Amino acid sequence: MSKRSDMTNTHNWSGQKLVSTDYLLFEAPREKHFMTGSEVLKEAMKRCTVDASVSYPITPQSEAAHLIGELWAEGYVGTYFRGENEFGVMSEVAGCAMAGARTVTTTSGPGTLRAMENFPQWSGTRIPCQLVLMARGINSPLTIQPDNLEVSFMLETGCMIWYAENVQELFDMSIAAFTVAEKPDVHVPIITVVDGFFVSHTREAVMLPADDIALEPYDPYRAPLPPIDSETPPGRFLRDPFVMKSNYISYATHASWQWEVRSAVERSRPYAEHYLKGLIHITGEEDAEIAFVTCGTASNQAKEAHRELMKLGIKTKVIKLRTIRPFPAKELLAAVEGIKHIFVPEFNVVGWLEKEVRKELYNKCEADIVGGPRVAGGMSMPAEAIIAEVMEKINPGKGA
């Protein structure tokens, strides 16, 4: 088993050379591999000098959690165990992170909801842990199909939320995620989302740097709140009034804390901008009058529709949102300039992304916003469905 005390100034406890995030993400030479999303998450965590991970099985993230366990057995992760259920796991993650560990966990669908009370607690205690959420449908009726309805429940937890489109993005994003979450002026939890199955179980070509390099370790003493390790003064002693006491100060304390958590999420923008190379990615025609605003694998399907529509002489562009919290409002507004029709294809029934887009563009943009196409319950979203939606709009009654 690895020992933290084996770490040196240049190497982590498993003997990997410590490098900067910039080097790991942008400069280190890369080689091509062929991997699933679960496998690539193991590769990412292998290069992250992870202190702690707690897991619980649920399809489709179980394999990713198994593989992080293997990493621990191989000596790359400090401590790892299976918790009793997701509420327990997210609580154990909280304990690990409060005690000063770089901590990661994974879950899906129902696990997310079972653990729900923990997420605002994570952000409220300003721990920079990472949840890799491999989104899946919510019961009832029982389902293990892909769906991303659960993300709508996560939006107001005070955590950052990023969304990866494919296996490659999952790799890069989950490394950048720790780096941004741990910035002292950010220091809030981060949820990196992929569409379960479509990414977790799909094998794709991916470019990976060598595995003998890894991120610098997390330094809890740079955190805005003291770690709970008895090495620094207790957080509350002689400082904060306990917010449960009913007086004006306690109301103000709690209110300002909620704003502060949200401000911390906002302060992540420049870092995310750098490590993700932009909060949004645009593909397609610059002079298009039709835009698709997407995240996750819906982006992929929208790009396919864009290529088909090009053949029909219809110009479109795909605006892929990579961060959902913070929401890239300014970037989106700039990207929809001159656009007449906005479509928001989504893998869920409520259309949470459409709501986000409408809220941000309200009174700021003339474009007509169509919340669709929308699929749910695990159904795939063929490019034809997106094309049909566009044709119905620009050529009513004539079909695709």
Partner 1 sequence: MALDIYKINPEFRDIMPQEIIDLEEKATWSVNRDTPRGIKELPDTKELLEEHSLCAGCPEAAALRYVLSALPKPEDTIIVNSTGCTSLMFPHIALHTVHSLFGNQNAVASGIKRVLDWRFPDIEKDVVVLAGDGATVDIGLDYTLQSFFRQENITTICFDNEVYANTGGQESGATAKGQVFKMAPLGKKFDKVPMWELATTSGCHYSVNMTASAPKAVAKAVREAILVAREIGPTFLNIYTPCILEIGLSANEGLGEMKDQDKDRFASYKYVSPEAEEFLKKCKEEGRI
Question: Which one, 237 or 362, has the nearer CB to partner 1?
Answer: 237
- Given strand 190-195, what is the order of strands in its sheet? 79-82, 52-55, 103-107, 130-135, 190-195, 160-163, 323-325
CB of 101 to partner 1, least distance (A): 4
CB of 100 to partner 1, least distance (A): 6
Question: Which one, 9 or 363, has the nearer CB to partner 1?
Answer: 9
Contact in structure between 114 and 136 (CB atoms under 8 Å) = no
Question: Which one, 51 or 389, has the nearer CB to partner 1?
Answer: 51
Question: Which one, 58 or 93, has the nearer CB to partner 1?
Answer: 93
What are the Cα distances from residue 97, in Å, to 50, 93, 104, 188, 380? 11, 6, 9, 11, 37
CB of 247 to partner 1, least distance (A): 11
CB of 236 to partner 1, least distance (A): 5
3-state helix, strand, coil in the chain (%, to 5): 40, 20, 45
Question: Which one, 120 or 278, has the nearer CB to partner 1?
Answer: 120
CB of 142 to partner 1, least distance (A): 22
Question: Which one, 156 or 240, has the nearer CB to partner 1?
Answer: 240
| Residues contacting 8, CB < 8 A, separation 6+ | none
CB of 8 to partner 1, least distance (A): 16
What are the Cα distances from residue 322, in Å, to 171, 185, 281, 310, 319? 14, 21, 7, 24, 10
Q: What does the buried/exposed string (b/e) look like for 24-60 if buried means 16 or more CB atoms within 10 Å of the residue's CB?
A: bbeeeeeeebebbbbbbbbbbbbbbbbbbbbbbebbb
- Residue numbers of the site for partner 1 (CB under 8 A)? 3-5, 51-52, 54, 78-79, 81, 83-85, 87-89, 91-101, 103, 117-118, 121, 125, 228-238, 240-242, 244-245
